[in-house]
Amino acid sequence: MDLRKIILDQKRAIRRRTQQVLELVRPEQMSWSPTAGALTIGELLRHLWVSEEGVRRVALEGDFHYYLVRVPRGLRAVLGQPGTLEEELRELERVHQETLQLVSTYPLERLEEERSEPSLGYRRKVYAILLGINEHEVHHRAQLMTYLRMLGTPVPEPMPSR
């Protein structure tokens, strides 16, 4: 079993569905959120790529900077200000492609390595962290779908593969 192939195939499949949902977002919706304090659509899009980039660094490089800022100071401390829809979609694609490339060349035997940061109580294997990136995208894609439905945008369910 090639665990790297599983991670990459899953990531590509998840992104295909996410892309279908992203195509429904309109520029004028970027500052909308369902309630005060909730992420806006722009912040949600930014969170997807900023988080993927930060978590990927934990997995592949053992660099915990993302979590060392995010955990004590909160999500908005690592987000920055969202750009335009076009800019955020471009960054999402850039980070996605970087992750695919970096994981595809990462030594298979190193996927079993463990990453830990005692100050955060964090300890996981590289493959589990990478699979978590995929799970995180699915979670926030569903959140985005809910936002869009609240705005009156019909979001079709995916058709099962045959």
Domain count, the chain: 1
CA 152 to chain centre: 25
Residue 158 lies inside a defined structural domain of this protein = no
| Domain membership of residue 87 as a residue range | 3-27+35-150
Which residues, 6 or more positions from 62, have their beta carbon under 8 angstroms from its beta carbon? 115
Residue 14 lies inside a defined structural domain of this protein = yes
Residue 162 lies inside a defined structural domain of this protein = no
Residue 86 lies inside a defined structural domain of this protein = yes
| pLDDT tens digit at each of 162 positions of the chain | 689 999 999 999 999 999 999 999 999 999 999 999 999 999 999 999 999 999 999 999 999 999 999 999 999 999 999 999 999 999 999 999 999 999 999 999 999 999 999 999 999 999 999 999 999 999 999 999 999 999 999 887 766 555
Residue 66 lies inside a defined structural domain of this protein = yes
Residue 91 lies inside a defined structural domain of this protein = yes
Residue 160 lies inside a defined structural domain of this protein = no
Q: Write the CATH number for 103.
A: 1.20.120.450
Residue 121 lies inside a defined structural domain of this protein = yes
CA distance 122 to 118: 6
Compute φ and ψ for 41, nearest 5 degrees.
-60, -40
